[in-house]
Amino acid sequence: MASFSSLITPISQNPKILLTNSNHSNCSKAIPHGFPSLGFGFGVSQHGRSFKQMRRIVTSSINQNEALVGNSSIQTFDIPVLTSSDAIERLKANRENHKGKQQFLAMYSSIFGGITTDPAAMVIPIDDHMVHRGHGVFDTAAIMEGYLYELDQHVNRIIRSAGMAKITPAFDKETLRRILIQTASASKCRNGSLKYWLSVGPGDFQLSPSGCNQPTFYAVVFQDESPSSYSKGIKVITSSIPIKPPQFATTKSVNYLPNVLSKMEAEEQGAFAGIWLDNEGFVAEGPNMNVAFVTKQNELLMPNFDKILSGCTANRILTLAERLVSEGKLRGVRVGNVSVEEGKKNSTEMMLIGSGILVLPVIQWDDQIIGNGAEGSIAQALLNLIIEDMKSGPPSVRVPIPY
């Protein structure tokens, strides 16, 4: 680790830093080269020197640097102080000028106790601990042809995640459910996604949530207009980013930095996603999706959920896959430990499963071609089953949106 004094930047390299003494109006001096400061107006004594000796050194250094400060071009910025209406106008302009591939159609916020359809107003307080401490959990439900798919399953999971994160939900389950349905209704969206968050709420910038005045709940309906370019199968890699410990991997929290880095690592290598291995070397999951295989014994095989997130879509796939067993297309369905060797070389098919991708066939893992290197029939059959379930499944998985 670098020493404290080695972190001090000489004034010649950083002329913008000023030493200001609030007790003396004329005391704005450049920090002298090599003078260690705590950043709060206190010097650090070094090498046994007394503060009187240090003061003489500082005075001499300041005198030597006064000319430098006077002649250097200290960059200044004309930053306006905005009124609330000015800030709102700039938020609107920013949204207009930076439109991405997703449309934000409606947002509920317990902070203002209502729903907005203005994307510029879809903001949350900076002091919400979900923002600066990551103390929040979330979940997502798909909207298909005017129905919320597996809403209750996802709401149950976010409540379970909140309990593991020691977050008291802002509302009871039925109220959360009602808010989500009304937000989807206000969005007018018939095909899209509903993402929602529970947080310990705003209050301060401390680590502990003891100063938070109330838990918060947010929900956003959006449509993704990005065309899929992975219809013929994808490549994955083994992620070098450390997997989360089971306590955190099984909680759907907003702490997604490992997931983001894993996804970025894969994209940098021309792959779609990284595959995590658990601490015993068994196949775990992707950054935001589960993994499944079809073995050479014609079984659908998924890794155990004890150390990873139990995916709602993955669990639904396990149920729907029984239909393929009854039709003789699969020999069986099971969950268990999956070694890398078994996943790469003893599988005829590999696929990623999640609410955002449904069923996505994998044709290459690292340098290993999976099966015959083409999209498999079981992956396609499972995709057809989940789409059919989203469009015409039982009431237990489809909740109508009252537009």
Cβ pair 20, 28 in contact under 8 A: yes
Summarised one tens digit per residue, pLDDT across range 158-212 is 999 999 999 999 999 999 999 999 999 999 999 999 999 999 999 999 999 999 9
E strand segments, 110-239 = 114-116, 136-144, 147-149, 191-199, 216-224, 234-238
Instruction: Look over the chain and give the mean of its residue pLDDT values, rounded to a whole number.
Output: 86
Within a 10 A sphere around the Cβ of 326, how many other Cβ atoms? 8
Q: How far is CA 352 from CA 39, 361, 365, in A?
A: 50, 6, 12
pLDDT tens digits for 111-124?
999 999 999 999 99
Q: Give catalytic status of residue 252 as yes or no.
A: yes
Q: What is the pLDDT of residue 77?
A: 78
Find the DSSP H helices in 45-98: 51-71, 84-97
CATH of region 85-224: 3.30.470.10
Q: Is CATH 3.20.20.100 correct for 234-392?
A: no
Question: Residue 139 in contact with residue 196, Cβ under 8 Å?
Answer: yes
Letter for the amino acid at 97? N
**Do 382 and 320 touch, CB atoms closer than 8 A?**
yes
d(CA 352, CA 68): 61
Q: Are 5 and 13 in contact (CB under 8 A)?
A: no
Q: List pLDDT tens digits, range 222-263.
A: 998 765 555 579 999 999 999 999 999 999 999 999 999 999
Using the predicted structure, report yes or no on whether residue 44 has a pLDDT greater than 60: no
The side-by-side arrangement of strands in the sheet containing 191-199 is 114-116, 102-109, 216-224, 191-199, 136-144, 147-149, 398-400
CA 246, CA 248: separation in Å to the nearest integer? 5
For 200, the token pair is 């310990």
Per the residue annotation, which of 235, 244, 252, 263 is the catalytic one?
A: 252
The tokens describing 307, both together, are: 């150390």
pLDDT at 42 over 50: no
Give the number of C-alpha atoms closer than 13 A to the C-alpha of residue 149, restricted to the C-beta side: 24
**pLDDT at residue 224, rounded to an integer:** 87
* CA distances, 337 to each of 89, 315, 382 (Å): 54, 16, 21
CA proximity to 317, closest of 281, 357, 348: 357
335-389 pLDDT tens trace: 999 999 999 999 999 999 999 999 999 999 999 999 999 999 999 999 999 999 9
> At residue 136, does pLDDT exceed 90?
yes
Query: What is the CA angle 136-140-141, rounded to 5?
Result: 150
User: Has residue 76 got a pLDDT over 60?
Assistant: yes
Mean pLDDT across 78-88? 93
> For residue 298, which of 322, 333, 327 has the smallest C-alpha distance?
333
Kindly tell me if the per-residue pLDDT of 88 is higher than 80. Answer: yes
pLDDT digits (tens, 9 = 90+) for 64-75: 544 444 555 567
Average pLDDT over residues 40-54: 43
What are φ and ψ of residue 400, in 5° steps?
-70, 145
Rounded to whole angstroms, the Cα distance separating 190 from 143 reads 6
Residue 364 neighbours by CB distance under 10 Å: 18
Q: Where are the domains of the chain?
A: 85-224, 234-392
